[in-house]
Amino acid sequence: MKLSRILAAVALAGALGVPHYLVRMDSYRGFEQPVFVDIPRGTSSLRIGEKLAEAGVLRNPFLFPLARLTKPSSKPQAGEYRFEKAATPAEVFARIARGDVYLVELRVPEGSDVFDIAEKVAAAGLAPADEFLHAAKTREGRLFPSTYLFRRGITPDEICRAMEAQFNKVWSELKGAAGERQRIVTLASIVETEAVLAEERPKIAGVYMNRLAKGMRLECDPTVEYAAKLDGRWKGVIYKTDLESANPYNTYRHEGLPPGPVANPGRDSLKAALHPEETDALYFVARGDQSGGHVFSKEYSEHQKAVAAYRKGQRNGHHDTGAPK
């Protein structure tokens, strides 16, 4: 009698030990390159197991439901998962239960325009550049620069809507009024593309407000570049023909603000455009010493001296990205 009990206990232990080993100890990798497994919402545990087995993530499809039995309170989360190394069924289930889905990082720097963002979207493998441009062109200025995480298969429109939602959040926090949004965002986009130092943004905004008030042309290089991009003739540098272009975005030819934003401004530039610094300056030019700062002038004669100093700095080997204004 005692022997039969011992044998029964051994048999039970063996019966329990096999599933334990298969679920928690049997690390498996049946693929050579990283694989992706998409799990739609509402997929059964057995079907998930079949998908994982087909991809070579699990040795047998029944191991996933078996792994779930060890944590009955946990539920698989929908999404796409990336697998690149050997794992036990328990480890695989844990990842899917906590929703560790695969996401693609998209970093959008401040001052990026839709053409820049389209290149980054394409490089990240999220969408072809031309498809993104088609969805984004009318949203210039509202695609808030930040770092985003997107799932594969997302549409260009969904990417744009996520970026617009972040813009709307920041715009609301800055207490921007809906009626002035187009004007403020356009000014902020110019400030963003001109400023290097954060502390100079409000003053640069003030300079442009002064020029607008006096009916002076803004003569802003980034607007010329943007006009060339819109016309499909941007070559990386500004040519005389670009300055003479009749494109309405060319502020060397047309007075006032351009028809719309020329880039996507960040929080600091939006804030600067909403609250420009009071200044009597009408001109500014880069220092030419790689500091990122500018020399601001009220009189054109003062500005010419600052421009001469800038050009001298360039000849002496300082190559600042700024240009005379």
Among 13-27, 43-57, 200-214, name the one with the lowest average pLDDT.
Answer: 13-27
- CA dist 15 and 271 (Å) reads 68
Structural domains in the chain plus CATH codes: 14-97 (3.30.1490.480), 103-173 (3.30.1490)
Question: What is residue 23's predicted lDDT score, i.e. its pLDDT?
Answer: 82
In the predicted model, what is the mean pLDDT of the chain?
A: 90
Report whether pLDDT(307) > 70. yes
Coil/strand/helix, residue 145: coil
What is the pLDDT, as a whole number, of residue 66?
A: 93
Average pLDDT score over residue span 120-131: 97
pLDDT of residue 282: 95
Six-digit token pair at 4? 């039969």
pLDDT at 223 over 60: yes
Model pLDDT, residue 255:
95
Q: How far is Cα 238 from Cα 310, in angstroms, rounded to an integer? A: 18
Distance CA 189, CA 141 (A): 7
DSSP bridge pairs for 106: 148
- Confidence class of residue 309 from pLDDT cuts 50, 70 and 90? confident
Distance CA 187, CA 274 (A): 9
For the chain, report the end-to-end CA distance as a whole number of angstroms: 101
Q: Check: CB of residue 289 under 8 Å from CB of residue 313.
A: yes
Residue 10 clears pLDDT 50, i.e. is over it = no
Q: Read off the pLDDT of residues 233-253 as tens digits, 9 standing for 90 and up.
A: 999 999 999 999 999 999 999
Spatial distance between the Cα atoms of 52 and 7, rounded to a whole number of angstroms: 37
Using alpha carbons, select from 224, 145, 141 the residue that is nearest to residue 188: 141
List, in sequence order, the alpha helices (H) in 195-251. Answer: 201-213, 221-231, 240-243
**What local confidence, expressed as pLDDT, does residue 322 receive?**
41
Cβ neighbours, 10 Å, residue 155:
13
Query: In sequence order, what E strands does the chain have?
Result: 35-39, 79-83, 104-107, 147-150, 283-286, 294-297
pLDDT of residue 117: 98
Does the pLDDT at position 24 exceed 50? yes
Average pLDDT over residues 88-102: 96
Coil/strand/helix, residue 223: helix
Question: In Å, how far are 64, 107, 119, 168, 207 from 249, measured between CA atoms?
Answer: 59, 27, 22, 25, 19
Say whether pLDDT at 62 is over 70.
yes
CA distances from 36 to 52, 54, 142, 187, 209 (A): 9, 11, 33, 44, 52
What are the tens digits of pLDDT across the range 127-172?
999 999 999 999 999 999 999 999 999 999 999 999 999 999 999 9
DSSP SS3 for 290: coil
Kindly tell me if the per-residue pLDDT of 313 is higher than 90: no
Q: What pLDDT sits at residue 251? A: 97
DSSP state of 90: H
At residue 17, does pLDDT exceed 70? no
Query: 194-216 pLDDT, tens per residue?
Result: 999 999 999 999 999 999 999 99
Q: In which band, very low, low, confident or very high, does the pLDDT at 16 lie, cut at 50, 70 and 90?
A: very low
Range from 4-18, 52-66, 146-160 carrying the lowest mean pLDDT: 4-18
